[in-house]
Structure 1
């Protein structure tokens, strides 16, 4: 990978980190904002994530050497947009492809639950988020962890696989030429 490619990937990741931090701050300050203000700020940030995804699509269509890195980053953006992950911190760790940190986060929430710092409902939701992130990173899951994901996937309306609504490179070229 050339230095230009590395710089581009670094810039994209920095932008993603900034947007994820922005989402985390919005969630943190949710109670101090009125509902309209909260929704507007969150929607604006999600729109910026979508724009970053569109930029990635354009770059991906023109530069094959970036495909693997861009695909991983694009997947993290899609997950953030689709709100498969409700916790921006988990999305940020996922985007950096750090399963060890996700495992540490899982241990932390298990401890928090044991100490009654978080409710069972919050624990289950965060555990599922983390396990799903580990699953998407192809990390080895225990049978118990797989069963948590399988059970959640059977819930009506729950969707694990994220289908992109965007056009492929070939489809974009076809539409431009029409």
Structure 2
């Protein structure tokens, strides 16, 4: 029971930090560049603190270790900025492939309506498909081809466990 409460509290803290990062990015155009950098750096420092806490906790109980793995990966992804979109990090951490797929559908629509630039679309699509691959979700032939084309452009370098040397990103997309 205590483990479940602990994991829930850590997930809430991660959600809060991801929302904070999203808010900072959303308000970037209205902020002074110095203020933006300071707020983002503060939030990233909080994420690093959360990561250090998770590292200490994973030394203990195996049950806690199993329950905290997704949260730890998401925190490291945010810290390493492998994922640029906090919302995608949060969906990845919560293991919500259906929500990630829904986000792809919304983005397709936004691209067609010119609400999203092609550059931003491709960057976010890469993040989502990488997250889905890491969640071991089945990717379509087109999705695999997209990832492989981006990989050949040297954009698919997601080392979510950089500090421990464990690579969790699947590149076996064949």
TM over 0.5: yes
Q: Is the contact between residue 88 and residue 127 of structure 2 (CA under 8 Å) also seen in structure 1?
A: yes
Conserved in 2, the CA contact under 8 Å of 1:113 and 1:119?
A: yes
Measure, in 1, the Cα distance between the counterparts of 2:33 and 2:98. Answer: 36
TM-score with structure 1 length normalisation? 0.88
Residues of 2 paired with 1:31 and 1:112: CA distance?
20
Which residue is 1:61 aligned to? 59
5+ residue gaps, structure 2: 167-174
Gaps of 5+ in 1: 169-178
Distance 1:158 1:149 in 2: 7
Kindly state the Cα deviation for residue 161 of structure 1 after the two structures are TM-superposed.
3.0
Larger Rg: 1
What SS class does the counterpart of residue 159 from structure 2 fall into? coil
In structure 2, the residue matched to 1:104 is 102
SS of the aligned residue for 1:29 comes to: helix
| Equivalent position of 1:77 in the other structure | 75
Q: 1:41 aligns with which of 35, 39, 46?
A: 39
Q: Give the equivalent residue in structure 1 for 2:19.
A: 21
Aligned residue number for residue 171 of structure 1:
none
Shift of 1:167: 8.8
For residue 154 of structure 1, the aligned residue among 152, 155, 170 is 152
Q: State TM-score, norm by structure 2.
A: 0.90
Which residue does 2:49 correspond to in 1? 51
The residue number in structure 2 matching 1:139 is 137
Q: Is the 8 Å Cα contact of residues 58 and 65 (structure 2) preserved in structure 1?
A: yes
Give the conservation status (yes or no) of the 8 Å contact 1:53–1:77. yes
